[in-house]
Structure 1
Amino acid sequence: MSDVDLRKLRYFVAVAEHLHFGRAAEQLFIAQPVLSRQIRALEEELGAQLFARDRRGTALTAAGEQLLIEAKPLLAAAEALQRRVVRAAAGADTFTIGFMPGLIVTGAVRALTERYPGLTVELVRTDWFDQTEVVHDGRVDVSLVRLPIDPHGLTVRPLYTEPRVVVLPADHRLAGKDAVSIADLADEHLLQDPDLVPEWRAVATELRTDRPVAPAFRSVEEKLEHVAGGHGIIFLPLSVMTFYTRPDIAYIPVPDLAPNEVSLAWSANRPVRHAEEFAALAAQ
């Protein structure tokens, strides 16, 4: 069997994610016939059919589904390797940290640079969708993450917990309360993945089983705009909400909601200089 071409793997992932050769070709900025030939060449190299195509569309075969699982971390690792080599060639002693909204890393960064005056620390803002992706693809050395995350391929060190609050429109019936319970909020429309708030999901499901699917907002700012517009509620860690304070929304403590867990994550597949030391500093 010949070595797998990473370029062909990237082409495969694009088709697998779109399940449409035309749209994948547009994303990759190549002609569709070229893409089709590259996928056929990959299938020949692997000795397996990756896609089933008929009048109804394109679907992954069992082999294609397995390759998609394997290809994404492989491509991320290749990208991370390239970034590390480029940084090493530049001769710079750098340490790059990813951090979620509301998480303040200033104290730990200052402590680390005091210990290593020649160290350059760079910061990358992340969100729920890429807080671990930036570790896998090498954009950061470590990432301050909010659980839950997929720990596969990662070393994860717990740092601390913080309370979560419910975010409501300023004119909501509960906006003036000192605290509310999950039961008080069970009939509200949640504007985030219910799996992130299992306490609410358990109570809300008992009351209503035909709830609309939560929209896929990609940023805190989008969620807050929809809350302010009266479209629903969200739950956020307290530090995030205080960072985004605005007059048309209110945030209320929810004592029976589990706190958010903050951890530090880095690659489990290679040594990461300063990771353990920074984790100890960030936990203080």
Structure 2
Amino acid sequence: MDFRIRQLQCFLTLAELLNYGKTARVLYMSQPTITFQIQSLEEAFGAKLFERDRKQVRLTAAGESMRIYAQTIMDTISDAREHLKSLAAPRKIRITCGPSGMLDLLPAVLRTLVRSNAGFEVEVADLTTEEQMEQMADRRIDAMIMMPSLPIAGVRFVPLCSLPLRILMSRRNPLASRSFLSIRELHGANVIASRPEDCRYQGPFLSSLFAPFDVVPRLVHVPQSCSVQFAYVGADAGVMIAPYSAGFADLTDVVSIPFLETLPEMELGYSVLAENKNEALPMFHQILSHCASKLQGATPAAKGTRSERSRLIEFPHLRDAV
């Protein structure tokens, strides 16, 4: 038996259009060529596939069966072509990271990728939270390293570790020499927060964090950028509430001070679209989990009971936004 892909293409197109002239035009072939291809296919399988008279062309019973098999063959060839193409091209994953992981988790992940030769490329997009949400929904981002889960339909949040909160402030601040600070001492203080147009959630989060202590901070809204926000802190324009790992940054003008109170810890993880089939994601998850466990291990034990330490910050304003 000898048949070619071109014959199957001619057969399937003619089976759909039931017109030799239209089939020839669609496939950019002459009508005699279409006739020859169909006859060759019929000879190869020993069955008549079409009935043709002056008025119409129609499939025979054998032709109806052949149509199913031919479509399966063409689909298999298409799948094989795409799979082999993906093997030849380097796998790529596009990620983005919120400020909370920019200084510690993301650098650790990139270092591990370089050393491990993981077999895929990573592109890091520098985006605000609002841009992250938009691009994740549009499938332009594969994964977001972030703190809380964001209200995006079809997104799955994968928790990695939990970190205690600290106060970052300028060394010039009168409170900078303290070993611990009470959250109540921040009443009326300037607290750095991302602009609402960059992240609509940080302002409400800070307010909900301070509310149980009857503390009302003055929010200073600045661009959602680590370098910009640390510059404001270093200039003593305000303090910043950040996870413990932010204190790893080697910043000359900024100190990191733990809270006196036992506050809920902040959860760090990443989000992906549940339907994302990027083949690099499982390996990326392994690397993220490894780096996050090392980050968790470098975090000193918080004060308070185990049950108190295990509490995680909840974001009711996120649930309300869904």
- Matched with 1:46 is none
Letter in 1 for 2:289: A
The structure-2 alpha-carbon separation of the partners of 1:265 and 1:130, relative to structure 1 and needing over 3 Å to count, comes to same
Partner of 2:271: 265
Q: 1:93: how far off?
A: 2.5
What is aligned with 2:180? 179
- Give the letter for the 1:237 counterpart: P
How far did residue 126 of structure 1 move? 4.3
**Taking structure 1 as reference, are residues 107 and 218 closer, same or farther at Cα in structure 2, changes over 3 Å only?**
closer
Deviation for aligned residue 1:137: 3.2
Q: Secondary structure at the match of 2:173?
A: coil
- SS of the aligned residue for 1:97 comes to strand
Which secondary structure state, in structure 2, belongs to the residue aligned with residue 183 of structure 1?
Answer: helix
- 1:97 deviates by 2.9
The worse-fitting range, judged by mean Cα deviation, of 125-134 and 143-152 is 125-134
1:253 and 2:258 aligned: yes
Mapping for residues 1-284 of structure 1, pairs under 5 Å: 91-100=89-98, 101-102=102-103, 103=105, 104-106=108-110, 109=113, 113-114=117-118, 117=119, 119-192=120-193, 193-197=202-206, 198-203=208-213, 206=214, 208=216, 212=218, 214-243=220-249, 245-254=250-259, 256-284=262-290
Unpaired stretches in structure 1, ≥5 consecutive residues: 1-86
SS at match of 1:247: coil
Q: Distance in 1 between matches of 2:215 and 2:182?
A: 15
Q: In 2 relative to 1, CA 138–152 (structure 1 residues): closer, same or farther, beyond 3 Å?
A: closer
Q: Distance in 1 between matches of 2:180 and 2:219?
A: 27
d(CA) in 1 for partners of 2:127, 2:163: 18
What CA distance in whole angstroms lies between the structure 1 residues aligned with 2:152 and 2:161? 17
Q: What CA distance in whole angstroms lies between the structure 2 residues aligned with 1:112 and 1:130?
A: 30
Where structure 2 has 5 or more consecutive residues not aligned to the other structure, the ranges are 1-84, 194-201, 291-322
Q: Taking structure 1 as reference, are residues 135 and 112 closer, same or farther at Cα in structure 2, changes over 3 Å only?
A: farther
CA distance in 2, matches of 1:196, 1:157: 20
SS at match of 1:262: strand
Post-superposition Cα deviations, 1:196-242, rounded to whole Å, max 9, x if no partner, equal 33322432xx355xx65542422122222222333221111233342
Structure 1 residues 228 and 107, CA, compared in 2 at 3 Å: closer, same or farther? closer
Instruction: Please list the CA deviations of residues 62-117 of structure 1 after superposition, one character each: whole Å capped at 9, or x if unmatched.
Output: xxxxxxxxxxxxxxxxxxxxxxxxx97x9442223323412231365358744xx4
Q: Aligned residue pairs: how many?
A: 190
Aligned CA RMSD, in angstroms, stands at 3.2
| Secondary structure in 2 matching 1:105 | helix
Q: Tell me the distance in 2 between the aligned counterparts of 1:201 and 1:225.
A: 27
What's the % identity of the aligned pairs?
Answer: 17
How many Å separate the matches in 2 of 1:228 and 1:201? Answer: 26
| In structure 2, C-alpha distance between the alignment counterparts of 1:159 and 1:98, rounded to whole Å | 16
